[in-house]
Amino acid sequence: MPSHADERQLLDELRELLAATVEDLTVEEVEPDSSLKDDLGVDSLAFLELVAAIEDRWQIQVPEEEAAQLTTVRQIAAHLAAAAPAPAGEAP
């Protein structure tokens, strides 16, 4: 199980990725329990772009049926923690 610090870092990285991927979305708008569709306005095309960005960033594959179950930021973080327990860090 990831530590609180690891979970916070993962959530922060996800917030930044969402803001960079979804048009008209800022990091400040993204909360851990935000619904991608209802709270953040992520449509199906933006969701596909987000999944592609997640796969690229964490070097994992997210099967379509699993991706469909990820509806909140926290669910994505939990999926990443399970699929990529030690996310590759990027050079500063």
Q: Which residues are catalytic?
A: 43
CA atoms within 13 A of residue 7's CA, in its CB half-sphere: 10
Q: Are 40 and 22 in contact (CB under 8 A)?
A: yes
Q: How far apart are CA 47 and CA 40, in angstroms?
A: 11
SS3 54: helix
Sheet strands (E) in the chain: none
